[in-house]
Structure 1
Amino acid sequence: MSAHGRATPGRGAPCWVSLMARDLGAAQDFYSAVLGWRFRPASLGEEFSVAVADGQPVAGIGALAQSYRIAVAWTSYFAVDDADLTADRIRERGATVAVGPLKLGPGRAALAADRDGATFGFWEGQRLAWSVGQGNAPARLELRTRDAFEAAIFYAEVFDWASGEPGGCEVTYEHDQVVVHDGPHTVATLRGGAVESAPDPRVRPRWDVHFPVRDLEKVTAAAVAAGGTVTPVTSTVDGEGYQAVVRDPDGGLFTVTST
């Protein structure tokens, strides 16, 4: 536990989110205008920066999309003890390891895609005291997929979810979605239809990052003014707030959620 009372992510839990951008400066300008973030250099090199809010790290931006010829996107990273073993598990299950594992600063990272094409990353190394739903970290991470149960089995086998071993994540089923818990905290949900329903072919699988905001109207207006686009505001899944999906000028998608 950190001095700020935030837990370090456990094995298999989300441990960071990062935008794979084309232009670091342009991305920083957009997210500063929209979410009020400040930025500091990262330990990973000059192509990286760390977004800070209220003095605490929120997310990363890496100017890697052009270098690796990948789409501009927000990527959720999961903590692992052995990046090579995780990469092997992904390949053995018919999914793809696109980049890495590569040495990055104090650890090793890789980018992968599950069997339905949803991209994610994993990290072996020291973990920050950062957790979904705490402080200025993302309000939640949500996998939007065609078949939540098939996806849950895949991720459970890759990240040892529900293994019963100390330090890992547990999984429950609530309100037609799979919920991932790191200790007492909900750290991710997987949504893709009700029990025994057919997979929805219209869903484009992706991990969605939800950032909490105090004034949804102000944030969405700022996004449009800064060159982004915004979907109409809708209620959150639990009906306790409101949300809108934002596309940054380079195409990176994320969700802003009222708190």
Structure 2
Amino acid sequence: MTAAERTTPAHGVPCWVSLMTRDLHAAQDFYAAVLGWTYRSGTLGEGFSVAHADGLPVAGIGRIGPGLPTVTTWTPYFAVADVDATAARVRERGGTIAVGPIRVGPGRGALAADREGAGFGFWEGRTPPWSIGRGSAPAALELRTSHAFDAAIFYSEVFGWDPLEPDGCEVGYAYQQDTVVVRHRGHTVATLRGGGDGASPDPRLRPRWHVRFQVDDLTAATEAARKAGGEVSPPTVSPDDGPESMIEDPDGALFTVSARRSPTPPG
């Protein structure tokens, strides 16, 4: 992707997802088998690649380098205007900074964790044209946390989620479901759900940001994951998105696949 094809995303909006793994080539093979991805070299060096679907960028996959956290995980990045100011707000509100802020390729970024230990990143600079739930990007981004309302306060203060700000994000809270929905220009870009358990030995229950990808054939994708060495949880049915399955890749990173929904016919 050329520099001219990059864009500057709105402040506070998810702008990318990336997997850090111990074996880059093995991860590429696994996700190619499960999700049909192809890969191109990115701007961050030979230890990183950009996954593509239908010729469009989907996500980054990188090899864990010296000094970086060793846990393999999918990490969302949020666009910010000033990475240093954002890092300061994370610390002021009880979060931690794991890496950075540092210059990486065409921008500056940092890796952080919220008060419950859920990891996330933020990025100052231009990015590929990409938006949660649209085109080749992941279908959904979800924070699984102990208390959605408390988490929403943390992230709202860190990223300035405010519908009154120019091009700001709207935050809506559903008390009965302990769910917060974050929208930008009327489009859902993140969901925060309560019910997580920070003390659980099960990584699926601990607070974390979770990425969901759509596939044309859910059964074929989960079977491919098993054959490629992944672990597949029993399928569930989401009230909003239909059948889905959580998958753990061979290196321990969790993600979800769901059946692609047919476009709603015009009324």
Fold conserved (TM > 0.5)?
A: yes
CA distance in 1, matches of 2:54, 2:197: 41
Counterpart residue identity of residue 213, structure 1: V
Q: 1:87 aligns to what? A: 87
Counterpart residue identity of residue 151, structure 1: A
Counterpart residue identity of residue 130, structure 1: W
> Which residue of the other structure, out of 229, 236, 241, is the alignment partner of 2:231?
229
Residue 195 (structure 2) pairs with residue 181 (structure 1): no
SS of 1:90 mapped into structure 2: helix
SS of 1:57 mapped into structure 2: strand
CA distance in 2, matches of 1:170, 1:241: 25
* Distance apart, 1:250 and its partner CA: 0.4
Residue 127 (structure 2) pairs with residue 134 (structure 1): no
SS of 1:132 mapped into structure 2: coil
* Distance apart, 1:209 and its partner CA: 0.1
Paired residues of 2:242 and 2:258 also in contact (CA < 8 A):
yes
User: Unaligned regions of 5+ residues in structure 1, if any?
Assistant: 1-6
* Distance apart, 1:199 and its partner CA: 7.9
Comparing 17-26 with 7-16, greater Cα deviation is found at 7-16
* Distance apart, 1:9 and its partner CA: 3.5
CA distance in 2, matches of 1:9, 1:104: 17
Q: 2:119 aligns to what? A: 119
Residue 190 (structure 2) pairs with residue 171 (structure 1): no
Paired residues of 2:18 and 2:59 also in contact (CA < 8 A):
yes
> Which residue of the other structure, out of 187, 191, 194, is the alignment partner of 2:193?
191
Paired residues of 2:141 and 2:209 also in contact (CA < 8 A):
yes
SS of 1:31 mapped into structure 2: helix
Counterpart residue identity of residue 232, structure 2: V
Q: 2:242 aligns to what? A: 241
Q: 2:219 aligns to what? A: 217
SS of 1:217 mapped into structure 2: helix
For these two proteins, the number of residue pairs brought into alignment is 248
Q: 2:263 aligns to what? A: none
* Distance apart, 1:220 and its partner CA: 0.2
Comparing 169-178 with 203-212, greater Cα deviation is found at 169-178
* Distance apart, 1:15 and its partner CA: 0.2
CA distance in 2, matches of 1:163, 1:216: 36
Paired residues of 1:146 and 1:201 also in contact (CA < 8 A):
no
CA distance in 2, matches of 1:117, 1:237: 28
CA distance in 2, matches of 1:99, 1:8: 22
The one-character-per-residue Cα deviations of 1:95-144 (angstroms, maximum 9, x if unpaired) are: 10000011111101111000001000000001321000001111100000
Q: 1:258 aligns to what? A: 259
CA distance in 2, matches of 1:62, 1:212: 22
Paired residues of 2:197 and 2:206 also in contact (CA < 8 A):
no
The one-character-per-residue Cα deviations of 1:152-189 (angstroms, maximum 9, x if unpaired) are: 00000000002521122111124721000111210000
Relative to structure 1, is the Cα distance of residues 69 and 183 closer, same or farther in structure 2, using a 3 angstrom cutoff? Answer: same
Paired residues of 2:198 and 2:207 also in contact (CA < 8 A):
no
CA distance in 2, matches of 1:63, 1:201: 28
Relative to structure 1, is the Cα distance of residues 182 and 164 closer, same or farther in structure 2, using a 3 angstrom cutoff? Answer: same
Paired residues of 1:8 and 1:130 also in contact (CA < 8 A):
no
SS of 1:136 mapped into structure 2: coil
User: Unaligned regions of 5+ residues in structure 2, if any?
Assistant: 1-6, 261-267
CA distance in 2, matches of 1:87, 1:242: 37
Paired residues of 1:21 and 1:65 also in contact (CA < 8 A):
no
Residue 207 (structure 2) pairs with residue 205 (structure 1): yes
* RMSD after superposition: 1.8
Matches within 5 A, 1:31-50: 31-50=31-50
SS of 2:151 mapped into structure 1: helix
- Residue identity over aligned pairs, in percent, reads 60
Matches within 5 A, 1:53-64: 53-64=53-64
